[in-house]
Amino acid sequence: MVMTSEQRVEAGEIVGKGRSPWADARRRFFRNKAALMGLVILGFVVAFALFGGYFAQWSNEELDYNVMGQIVELGGPSIESGHYFGTDDLGRDLFARTIQGTQISLAVGLVGALIACIVGTLYGAVAGYAGGRTDGIMMRLVDIFMAVPYMFVLILLLVMYGRSITILFAGIGLISWMEMARIVRGQTLTIKGREFVEAARATGVSAPVIILRHIVPNLLGVIAVYATLLVPLMILTESFISFLGLGVQEPLTSLGALISEGC
């Protein structure tokens, strides 16, 4: 006699369901104390960037004429004056400017990583799927690009096209896609021999459709992992460029610009 699920439960047998990969990953993540601490810190930084402006009593461009000329005596952190982090040499509120700097640095990290992921994924997938001479030529170009100091290229772009946040966003993203291209190309070489890709090719599906519909979706896990490594790298690159004085222009600011000013 075959017992139903209800009968098994009544008989004391446990009927369990298998966990999905996402559920298993989530379970392992929340058991990792270091990962949880990193998530808390990241959440605090994002919350500060998004909601910190509601607590600021001064705008990032507003000057406090009461402390001008007496920055050393009156420009320190003060709850009464509303300057929670103090003021800079021009009398501007550092709390508001830190919020803006955090917003810009996070935006540069996210946008730059997004550009690098899109360009690198498409380039690497095309090279890996094409194979042969096309793959060899495309990868040799990547080797040549990687041999050029990326910081020099970024500084050259900012000098040629002017210091603007748009050039900064695009420049950081466009000099960081080579590693992603190599990773995606290696994964594509493995995936393109799978049965579902062979079946799509046999039915006459075009190469662009196979790449976008069958190969790239199977690379999302690898892309997501590498993107998490790209974001902090983008933020550090932007901070260094701003520290050199080639980043965002006044009245905008970033974390690197604030450090350069000695704030």
The per-residue pLDDT for range 83-137, each reduced to its tens digit, is 888 888 888 888 889 999 899 888 888 888 898 899 999 999 999 998 889 989 9
Of residues 47 and 171, more confidence is placed in 47
Q: Of 246, 238, 219, nearest to 112 (Cα)?
A: 238
Average pLDDT over the chain reads 82
Measure the CA–CA gap between 235 and 241, rounded to whole angstroms: 10
The pLDDT assigned to 123 comes to 94
CA 31 to centroid of chain Cα atoms: 24
Go through the domains of the chain in sequence order and give each one's CATH number.
109-260 (1.10.3720.10)
Residue with tokens 């799927």: 129
For residue 25, what pLDDT band results from cuts at 50, 70 and 90?
Answer: low
For residue 20, what pLDDT band results from cuts at 50, 70 and 90?
Answer: low
- What is the pLDDT averaged over residues 45-55? 89
Measure the CA–CA gap between 80 and 64, rounded to whole angstroms: 13
| Tokens linked to 53 | 């402006």
Q: State the CB neighbour count (10 A cutoff) for residue 201.
A: 15
- What is the pLDDT averaged over residues 161-168? 79
> SS3 letters for 200-240?
HHHCCCCHHHHHHHHHHHHHHHHHHHHHHHHHHHHHHHHHH
The pLDDT assigned to 18 comes to 57
Residue 14 clears pLDDT 50, i.e. is over it: no
For residue 20, is it left (φ>0), alpha (ψ between -120 and 50) or beta? beta
In terms of average pLDDT, the best of 68-72, 153-157, 184-188, 221-225 is 184-188
Size of the chain, expressed as the number of residues it contains? 263
pLDDT digits (tens, 9 = 90+) for 199-246: 888 888 888 888 888 888 888 888 888 888 888 888 888 888 887 777
The percentage of the chain sitting over the pLDDT mark of 70, rounded to a whole number, equals: 90
CA angle 263, 158, 258 (to 5 degrees): 5
